[in-house]
Structure 1
């Protein structure tokens, strides 16, 4: 037998704390010892599978394994409605380039033991010139697929190696925290599923023009995060009263509605009333009001201030929270990039604009006297990093002196020398440059237009702040004349077909089995063939060509900056190939 070293278990729990139903390291040692003894006795075939000879090593050579215990929390689906967590031991053999997954099950006495079915192994081998990834199953005839944690063997063999190869060459570090690093993941998963079941009907009654599935399930995920965070906070403080909140820039109001429905007293404020507000009952308090940071916009009765894609209010929320009361905390999920006045201007080219802006909001929170924490949410968006201020860096008696420091910081920020920024207008977020008002960018207009730099009313903390207009300008190509849109669509289609002319009344020729796939062109190549007046008109309305093409998704597919005809036969095949 080979020696085994039990590593610290990877569990579904808060950082530094064991998860629910955790198995501690001494118990893991005992579990592995029992398993090792069974290999030498009744399960020699599994021993051979686990310790098969590798290149350059003798089969009988003894060396150390890294063994960890992990809890897998599957998503709930129609095939697996209960989605019970599964535990498995993971044995990593670095010298042989293998990782073996050993599922665990409980016997009648509640003791864990290795389940001999569903054992599989991932191997990494190097040939003369290439690396190879293989997935091996121990006793495939005993494999039991549940459609979630254990898919069908065909999927393991066909799909998993390709994904592993893709992940292995991806960037090692994203520069962000791991997802849900501040929460017990199992508790979050249960809360999210409960809220998803409770509010999924909102997708059917959604009266807004935005994508209902994206916004409903994103707000459900954010609400689940906050509810678990607040539950953990109450337990740590030894209190039972639920936290109060104010959601600044609440938008459609769904997040405030869910939090209120969970028993948290609070309200949402936004400069513009939404149609969806009429769907909620009277227990959801939503107010149409413009927020201008000043002595008149403090919330001393609120435990938490929330900024969910709050745009121009985002950098002000830590300031408002700090000045509202010493016990007030904040949660912000930044999206569009705003400074205290106007658009945020980049200062560090070695960072991405998103990373730099997150660091700026963290700096604001620290300047306001908060211990600022960062976490990644599990939401359908690339802008999913949140920042939290849950505690202060100073005692309450020092509030007056710290507030002077806040004022000085804001004044210095407003008076930053222009030399620190790139010349010209403030850069536009990447999504807006691409011309798409979509899942990752709020359809907001810049507040640094006419009147943005004029002196504010008495009591304002910084003259020049200008909340967005109450009437929202449509900037997603939907206001363009139909004739103009059709003209651009036909021009792009002609380009993809290499100059073959189309017209709205052209008869369909050829066999229905023939299909001219056309070319795949970059957006720059397409834009280069359009006249400048057309491009300027698109830019004024939505920021570029890409939005118009995506609006006509029944004709075109835009992926990774390239456009081609959408083949709906392939779409159907992709649906049929979903993991089983």
Structure 2
């Protein structure tokens, strides 16, 4: 029997390697494996996704992946970004291997000798562009924000810092393929840009975050997962643009592994003007504008040219509104991402809001015992209420909708806020606990443990437990790294960088 571990399960309860290989933890093997084997052996559940690498030769892919992994493994050692080097390097190596085999097979099918050209829209760290260019494919990458690692690639890797706004000035008529690898707000536009760039332009997108043409993607079908519904939407965009859209599942260390590919068109080149009018109507329909769209492809009776001989720009000008310039936006309301990446780790939330959520969660864990609003008295504790353990889901159910929505707008949401409140909470395996500082001080500190209170931070903050916990702080004042009252507070030391600043 063949068993496939899902990446989501691996993230939660197993140890996984960034090359896609999953190594289960011993505790998981002992407690959960047999029960899951029994369940998997009798269930008959059809996956909503295709099997991996269904569109290319698995043997050729495996060979290409091994070669590229060996060739570019040094990138892990010199990675200057804050992101996980193994995860990002081996993921881009896998995507590059897939594209190289896909394009190799396409050249064989079409009788081509020259290697395909490409443009990667929203290229990010640019490693995928670097690998494809190094393997002989002429291309470039464009992203709104330059990355540190760009300087390491050398002049043969063309990377441009620029914002992409879908319109007549962002077409690529001489390019064979457009790539959207986790391209966020550009993802639904890439089939459109490819279709309008030239009849021979193709596309490859690997959707991650869910965006519509002018904002966040809104669900419309409760019977599907949000991911499946979004993939169907991108497929619908490609079909409306006149592409034969194919779907495949990559072997990468990510929960978002499904790619969509448009290699050929459903209409002849002579039907371009009529088809472009359908594209425009479809795009406008996503904003609630009425549109009458054909269910299938263009019928044999569909007009092959406009009645007055108008070209693509005139058709788009008429469809987008009278007087709209042909070189303008294809749809008002699109906003490219900001050049400066906003900080969204709950650190920018108001202090009183954070304190309110911390008190509410602590109250839940302590079984509803009333928390103090003023300082407690120092004393010898015979017992200390360490509270219970609750899952993040159980905690979230107790918070009001407005609070959850506010947290959801921050990366990580509730879990990030609780992890940031390290003095009060401990979050392990999806469960929240009140932190017991007796155990904290007994643990052997790792040299790289940035969260441990250093001597410089000693007594620079008020002890949350001394102020709020019904039993006070579990530690005596002399041992607690936090101040038991205002009299113990010390002024925070200025960092060396700040002291050296002019």
TM tier, smaller: 0.5 to 0.7
Change beyond 3 A, Cα 1:161–1:552: same
The Cα of 1:225 is off from its aligned counterpart by 0.9
Partner of 2:389: 519
Report whether the alignment pairs 1:282 with 2:151: no
Change beyond 3 A, Cα 1:195–1:491: farther
Q: Write the distance in 2 (CA, Å) between the matches of 1:340 and 1:352.
A: 20
Q: Write the distance in 2 (CA, Å) between the matches of 1:534 and 1:292.
A: 34
SS in 1 for 2:74: helix
Partner of 2:416: 547
Change beyond 3 A, Cα 1:542–1:522: closer
Q: Write the distance in 1 (CA, Å) between the matches of 2:200 and 2:230.
A: 26
Partner of 2:432: 563
- Pick the aligned partner of 1:292 from 151, 165, 168: 165
The Cα of 1:299 is off from its aligned counterpart by 0.6
Partner of 2:99: 226
Alignment of 1:226-375 (within 5 A): 226-375=99-248
Q: Write the distance in 1 (CA, Å) between the matches of 2:104 and 2:88.
A: 24
Change beyond 3 A, Cα 1:187–1:550: farther
The Cα of 1:475 is off from its aligned counterpart by 0.9
TM-score by length of 2: 0.64
Partner of 1:203: 76
The Cα of 1:541 is off from its aligned counterpart by 4.0
- Pick the aligned partner of 1:399 from 266, 272, 286: 272
C-alpha RMSD of the superposition: 4.4
Alignment of 1:406-555 (within 5 A): 406-416=279-289, 459=327, 460-478=329-347, 496=365, 518-525=388-395, 528=398, 538-539=407-408, 541-542=410-411, 544-549=413-418, 555=426
> Contact 2:179 / 2:204 at 8 angstroms: preserved in 1?
yes
**1:317-370 deviation per Cα after TM superposition (whole angstroms, max 9, x unaligned):** 111111111111100111122222222222222222221221111111111111
> Contact 1:496 / 1:521 at 8 angstroms: preserved in 2?
no
**1:206-265 deviation per Cα after TM superposition (whole angstroms, max 9, x unaligned):** 333333332222212111111111111112222221111000011111111111111111
Partner of 2:50: 177
The Cα of 1:472 is off from its aligned counterpart by 1.6
> Contact 1:178 / 1:375 at 8 angstroms: preserved in 2?
yes
Report whether the alignment pairs 1:379 with 2:252: yes
Q: Write the distance in 2 (CA, Å) between the matches of 1:411 and 1:518.
A: 52
The Cα of 1:374 is off from its aligned counterpart by 0.5
SS in 1 for 2:340: coil
Q: Write the distance in 2 (CA, Å) between the matches of 1:534 and 1:359.
A: 31
> Contact 1:495 / 1:526 at 8 angstroms: preserved in 2?
no
Change beyond 3 A, Cα 1:357–1:541: closer
Change beyond 3 A, Cα 1:472–1:159: closer
TM-score by length of 1: 0.56
Q: Write the distance in 1 (CA, Å) between the matches of 2:417 and 2:86.
A: 21
SS in 1 for 2:167: coil
**1:459-516 deviation per Cα after TM superposition (whole angstroms, max 9, x unaligned):** 222222221222221112355699997997798578546679999xx99x99xxxxx8
> Contact 1:521 / 1:564 at 8 angstroms: preserved in 2?
no
> Contact 1:303 / 1:327 at 8 angstroms: preserved in 2?
yes
> Contact 2:346 / 2:413 at 8 angstroms: preserved in 1?
no
SS in 2 for 1:222: helix
Change beyond 3 A, Cα 1:315–1:539: closer
> Contact 2:392 / 2:415 at 8 angstroms: preserved in 1?
no
- Gaps (5+ residues) in structure 1? 1-9, 11-76, 78-147, 149-154, 419-454, 511-515, 569-580
> Contact 1:557 / 1:563 at 8 angstroms: preserved in 2?
yes
The Cα of 1:558 is off from its aligned counterpart by 4.0
The Cα of 1:533 is off from its aligned counterpart by 9.9
The Cα of 1:390 is off from its aligned counterpart by 0.6
> Contact 1:334 / 1:385 at 8 angstroms: preserved in 2?
yes
Q: What is the number of equivalent residue pairs in this alignment?
A: 383
SS in 2 for 1:355: helix
The Cα of 1:456 is off from its aligned counterpart by 8.5
> Contact 1:546 / 1:558 at 8 angstroms: preserved in 2?
no
The Cα of 1:203 is off from its aligned counterpart by 2.8
- Gaps (5+ residues) in structure 2? 3-16, 23-27, 292-322, 440-502
SS in 1 for 2:160: strand
Which is worse superposed, 471-480 or 487-496? 487-496
